């Protein structure tokens, strides 16, 4: 049984399209792709598994941090502004 469905909006059954639009709170464009995923949730790890996951994450973040380049405050602000403009269309910096 499929756990992931991907369809173009114009290929959806009318009742399915209406349900998706109701959940999104907006109309779909015909050329948009719609994906639906179904998966079982599981609880967060506890005990030793949780400790191992935390340690693995800390190790990964320390390694990533050790590879970063020092930036001036101006360069860091410029990079952040560029990321915000790319991620949030219409973003304007406060003056």
Q: How confident is the model at residue 90, as a pLDDT?
A: 78
What is the spatial distance between Cα 42 and Cα 10, in angstroms, rounded to a whole number? Answer: 34
pLDDT of residue 60: 96
The pLDDT value recorded for residue 95 is 60
pLDDT for position 67: 85
Residue-by-residue DSSP string for 71-84: --HHHHHHHHHHHH
pLDDT at residue 91 in the model: 77
Q: What is the pLDDT of residues 45-94, one digit of tens each?
A: 999 999 999 999 999 999 998 888 888 889 988 988 899 888 987 777 77
pLDDT at residue 9 tops 70:
yes
Matching residue, tokens 């405050």: 73
pLDDT at res. 58: 97
Residue 83: name the closest of 73, 94, 91, 72 by CA: 91
């Amino acid at each position: 049984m499929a756990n992931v469905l991907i369809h173009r909006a114009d290929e959806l059954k009318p009742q399915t399209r209406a349900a998706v639009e109701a959940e999104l709170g907006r109309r779909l464009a015909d050329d948009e792709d719609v994906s639906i995923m179904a998966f079982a949730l599981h609880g967060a790890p506890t005990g030793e598994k949780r400790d191992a996951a935390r340690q693995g994450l800390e190790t990964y973040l320390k390694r990533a941090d050790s590879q970063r380049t020092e930036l001036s405050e101006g360069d860091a602000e410029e990079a952040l502004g560029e990321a915000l403009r790319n991620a949030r269309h219409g973003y304007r910096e406060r003056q």
